[in-house]
Amino acid sequence: MKIKAGVIGATGYAGVELVRLLLKHPDVEISALSSVSFEGKQISEIYPSLREICDDTCTTSEDVVNSSDVVFAALPHGLSQDTAYQCTQQGKKFIDLGADFRLENPEDYEKWYGCEYKYPELHDKAVYGIPELFREEIKGKSIVGNPGCYPTSIALGLAPALKAGVIEPLGIVIDSKSGVTGAGRKPTQNTHFPECNEAFSAYKVANHRHTPEIEQALGKVAGGSVSVTFVPHLLPVNRGILSTMYAKLTGKLTLNEIRLIYEEAYKNEFFVRVLPEGTSVDIRNVKCSNYCDIQLYMDEHTNLLIVTSVIDNMVKGAAGQAIQNMNLLFGLRETAGIDMIPTAF
């Protein structure tokens, strides 16, 4: 019997990406979709690419919860906690693609998002879901806080070096660039076509909401405090994130020795590719896939390790990772439904 999966917020960018991927999952059937903006309309009316593939009518979030074994919520922060509570009351699994279950410290959530934890006991039961780093913690849980797209690219890029003590945990500098879909479907001034096309700009410099999430995820890997300066940029492309990270080296390891640490850390990880020396990461090479590509450099003049990583922000940075987490929750093959090959261009 197939798992019944429902999507709340199915007409947003992350939501429709979930629909696209779930439709091809061998162990899942879509039970219901919801959208406040388009309730009563077929999702194929909103996204004609789904015509005669998925013509489900968008219903209410309550219908999604009642008809599903697992509920994905692709909603703005502050809107997922009530649904999570309903799911736990009915014994359903809940995966939140928003920010409500990412931060462990309620003070951080209130400071950076302006909201409070309505059900503190639910947050005690939730787990932060980067499978490659926290796989065993995810198994058996009922609530998963699906990570943000920037933190995913950054945590995967820095985790082996931090865990091995290769770099200093304090003062890491992170320069990340994201495609416009990361801002969501609702248009804003800076995502309006004339504003972002043929343009390239930094935004929320050293003040982005993903900062505490990045430090939290890296701190769990490092086993202590980590501090970062995080500067995101908006790329005039639809998909993709490229993160470049600069960290002080703690010793005299060669770049080849550090590369071996990374290759050992990810040797059994299907979705993480440590690239051979002399090649560069490129968002084009992970497009429409759940892969993360990583490359390493050393600046001997300044004693810095430089790590670059790329992901598709809509897949590994959102819907694909959410499905990877679902596979872990239900004991399925971890790559099921998300082992697609990146497009060539």
Location of structure tokens 């879509």:
30
What torsion, rounded to 10 degrees, do the Cα atoms 67, 183, 24, 125 define? -50
End-to-end CA distance of the chain: 37
Are 60 and 35 in contact by the 8 Å Cβ rule? The answer is no
Are 242 and 183 in contact by the 8 Å Cβ rule? The answer is no
> Is residue 149 annotated as part of the catalytic site, yes or no?
yes
Cα separation, 92 vs 337, in Å, equals 21
The closest of 236, 231, 241, 187 to 208, measured between CA atoms, is: 231
What torsion, rounded to 10 degrees, do the Cα atoms 186, 120, 128, 135 define? -140
Amino acid identity of 340? Answer: M
Q: Is 68 exposed, middle or buried (0-12, 13-18, 19+ CB in 10 A)?
A: buried
Cα separation, 314 vs 28, in Å, equals 20
| Eight-class DSSP state of 146 | P
The closest of 87, 89, 59, 54 to 71, measured between CA atoms, is: 87
CA-to-CA dists, residue 238 to 15, 183, 193, 271, 314, angstroms: 16, 10, 11, 21, 10
Give the 3-state secondary structure of residue 90: coil
Considering the candidates 58, 87, 149, 292, report the single residue annotated as catalytic: 149
Joined tokens for residue 201: 């700009």
- Longest Cα–Cα distance of the chain, Å, equals 62
Q: Is 252 exposed, middle or buried (0-12, 13-18, 19+ CB in 10 A)?
A: exposed
Catalytic residue set: 149
